[in-house]
Structure 1
Amino acid sequence: MSQNADTFLLLTILTLVTILLIFGMKYFAAARQAQQRLAHEGAYQELADKAAVAQTAGAATLAKLEQDVKEMKTKLAGIEKVLHEVE
């Protein structure tokens, strides 16, 4: 009878340890995934910041180009006016 009780106790302990190991592994995996997700979100935030800076620089360059084109149109209109007067 004593041998059956010892076997039952051993099996119960092993079962509980197995259950604890399974939950421990699940918790560790979830924590690891959260850690990796945070790292990826940081990288995406950095990329978004760089894109915003590049977009701002592109808008400034575009505004400068528009101003240059307007100046060229004005100068070209003046040249055309002079050419029409010469003819």
Structure 2
Amino acid sequence: MIEKKKHTNLEQGSLNDEAFELLLGLTSIRSEPLIEALRDHYVFNLSKSASYTKHGVDKTIFSRKLRVLEKVFESVIQFLNVYKER
């Protein structure tokens, strides 16, 4: 059983472009406007509303995909924690 050591959040403006691309590659997200909206939020530090509005992305879809990236990010962090303990 995997224990969560500490909760690490994926926050606005917290990724560089390389990290964003690596994280995105672990998802099924393929819509270019959605990807660019997410990039603006996580890499270029735009607010959620500014990001989805700028790229014409539906607010609900944007919010769902934010949660997808957050869950993948948390899984990566958990994996790294388990792997470091080996």
* TM-score, structure 2 as length reference: 0.34
The structure that has the greater radius of gyration is 1
* TM-score, structure 1 as length reference: 0.33
User: Whose RCO is larger (CA < 8 A, sep 6+)?
Assistant: 2
